[in-house]
Amino acid sequence: MASTITLEQETNPWEAQSARFDFAARKLNLDPGLWKVLSSPSREIIVHFPVTMDDGRIELFTGYRVQHSIARGPGKGGIRYAPDVTLDEVRALASWMTWKCAVVNIPFGGAKGGVICDPRKMSSGEVERLTRRYTSEIIEFIGPEKDVPAPDVNTNEQTMAWIMDTYSMHMRQTVTSVVTGKPLNIGGSRGRKEATGRGVMVMCDKSLSYLKMKPENCRVIVQGFGNVGSNSARLLALKGYRIIGIAEYDGGLYNAAGIDIGKLLEHRERNGSIHGFKGAEAIDSAQLLETETDILIPAATENVVTSRNAERIRTRILVEGANGPTTAVADEILAEKGVFIVPDILANSGGVTASYFEWVQDRMGYFWNEATVIERLEEILSNSFDDVLRYAETHGVNNRIAAYMLAIDRVAFTIKQRGIYA
């Protein structure tokens, strides 16, 4: 597979996704026509829109919404705000959402959105105006039966509330099911915030069971301490895993005896950062990523494990809490080292599964308690892990390719059943 992508293309997420898709499609002997259909997004929306800033000047922003496939149901995928958002990145994330939803067998297709901006340099009012204008620009393409956005990098439940309100104002009625990841009091779901981290925990548990290892003997390093990383670390610590390292973009923490995650969360709440925590020593994040451990959880951004550091990664298990943290070239290196990888389209699918639950609850106007959400979430993810492992063993491929093959198979089967409209 590595031969299909050059080192220059390695960190381009769309190229990486395409390389894995092509490899899996070839293993499936996918029909050439369906190969063409599934190898390209069905719709790419680019909008350029003005926003009045606090000082009265007008800034022009660029936003994207890519719908990769809606064969199995409405598009589903987050919206991210960042200065380095690109169309290729959004394309890749949309396609990953297609495969992610198919792997866990929920009735969504894949979509993703993004706006090129730096919300850290913007006021709350500016971010709200940007959000509402972006929503109005893509409004004809989103909706409960069309495409359902969610939070992603630098967006949150408040962002989703603004999108829901803007959409509702245009529809002249309250439409809670247009987005997921909302506040509880306007149609959010219990258990949604922790869902991706809980899914990572399920994948760690299933991996240990498969490899005949025990949590109490298991060291864990988590890269990224945002929503996914912090909840993964907290839930794993509660189950007896020993969290020895936390890596952030500006430095990390290490304690071979284990970091008290509860106290670290309290420290961050007080100080706004993990730095200065007395229960661990400061360490360079790149160095921490290469420290020996039993489980490594990249839970931040893409392209964390590449050809430049894969050879020095020393872990038994890699559970991908983030989207696209391992490049296709790095995959080959890790495979040679015998690393057991739980790929992103399986490992971090807890978030979209809980989003599906929220969408269902909004549409029927009846909400579940947290225990019900957790029970149903863990059942779906546990079964999906087993499905991927069976596929890997049956076809003699690694877990990532097995997950892609399973997902592609499900989406292609649906398209064949529906037929090609002409």
Of the candidates 76, 100, 112, 206, the residue annotated as catalytic is: 112
d(CA 294, CA 258): 13
First to last CA, the chain: 35
CB atoms within 10 A of CB 343: 29
d(CA 262, CA 231): 11
Nearest-10 Cα torsion for 228, 232, 235, 240 = -170
Instruction: Indicate the SS3 state at residue 365.
Output: coil
Among 276, 313, 277, which Cα is nearest to 296's? 313
When computed from its CA atoms, the radius of gyration of the chain, rounded to whole angstroms, is 21
The pairing of beta strand 219-223 with beta strand 147-151: unpaired
What amino acid is encoded at 179 in this protein? Answer: V
**Is residue 36 flagged as an active site residue?**
no
User: Which run of H or E residues covers position 80?
Assistant: strand 75-82
CA distances in angstroms from 251 to 158, 183, 225, 236, 276, listed in the order given: 28, 31, 11, 22, 11
What amino acid is encoded at 315 in this protein? Answer: T
Please list the alpha-helical segments (H only) found in 45-194. Answer: 87-103, 124-138, 157-171
CA distances in angstroms from 400 to 72, 124, 320, 345, 406, listed in the order given: 21, 39, 11, 8, 10
- HSE-up of 121 (CA within 13 Å, CB side)? 5
Contact 199, 215 (CB under 8 A): no
d(CA 245, CA 292): 10
d(CA 14, CA 9): 9
User: Which run of H or E residues covers position 47?
Assistant: strand 43-52
Q: How far is CA 160 from the centre of its chain?
A: 17
Instruction: Indicate the SS3 state at residue 403.
Output: helix
> What residues are annotated to the active site?
112
